[in-house]
Chains A and B, each alone.
Chain A
Amino acid sequence: MDALLFWILAAVTVASAVLVIGQRNPMRSVLLLIVMFMALAGLYVTLGSPFAAVVQIIIYAGAIMVLFLFVVMLLNVPTEETPIGRQARLLGGVGPRRFGALLSAALALELFWALGRLGAIAMPAGDTPETTVKAIGLRLFRDYAFAFEATSVLILVAMVGAVVLARKEPQQ
């Protein structure tokens, strides 16, 4: 049962990721990315991390993607245009971009090869123990307390930065 769930969710994840980068319309890309997040949340649940799954849906699918959706709807630029100018073609032309995609495929193949050399490592047998929120909380607030506080400062800075950057210039 777990195996079937893994393969189905993995297939959905990869299919939606490919479609995210393949769609012309950014609105559809955003919606497909939400599908990918849901599939990943399902994978996290099968791996015994319901808290990470729910946090992923609340923050990623529920807040960040709403932000993306707002920006896509406000800016409303559906199609892509061709590169302009000689300089643009040098770094943004078709050749370099396709070479870049080739490099990422090479990355994936290298990782596959490395994992193949490792030999199969089985997951611990038996039922997946669910990690309790209490265990996560104890670890987070004792050992990672500094990182937690630093992250909150980071979010504050990002909030202020986003407001300042997106503000309209005051009309002189």
Chain B
Amino acid sequence: MLPEPTLNSYLMLSAVLFAIGTAGVFLRRNIITILLSVEVMLNAVNLTFIAVDRFRGLVDGQIMVFFVITVAAAEAAVGLAIVIALFRHKETLTPDVFTSLKW
């Protein structure tokens, strides 16, 4: 029989997802995949909110999730607009190429 999920299981799942997202941001060399990894991290946080919500019997967690999703939408829109502008400039999606602001 499978063990019943405790609050720790949900928080551990959230930690794993967050770590996967962070590893994705470090490892990938494609701007769009980096943005996707950031979305994975945001979802890990959402899961934490909802799990603690259920644990404490509140609704504030769901409201925070609502705001996190909305802010993620705004961030994705602006981030992708920047990606399009950068692509028009240099025809590539590798972040290492954009070095003009470095020393």
Contacts and interface: CB of A to CB of B under 8 A. Distances in A.
Interface residues of B, number: 80
A48 B54 contact: yes
Contact of A20 (B16, B40, B75, B85): B40
19 contacts: A2-B4, A3-B4, A14-B17, A37-B43, A40-B46, A49-B54, A52-B65, A52-B66, A56-B65, A64-B73, A80-B30, A92-B29, A103-B26, A104-B19, A123-B55, A144-B67, A151-B71, A158-B77, A162-B77
Interface of A: 2-4, 6-7, 10, 13-14, 17-18, 20-21, 23, 26, 29-30, 33, 36-37, 40, 43-44, 47-49, 51-52, 55-56, 59-60, 63-64, 67-68, 71-72, 74-75, 77, 80-81, 83-85, 87-88, 91-92, 97-98, 100-101, 103-105, 107-108, 111-112, 115-116, 118, 120-124, 128-129, 131, 135-136, 139-140, 144, 147, 151, 154-155, 157-159, 161-166, 168
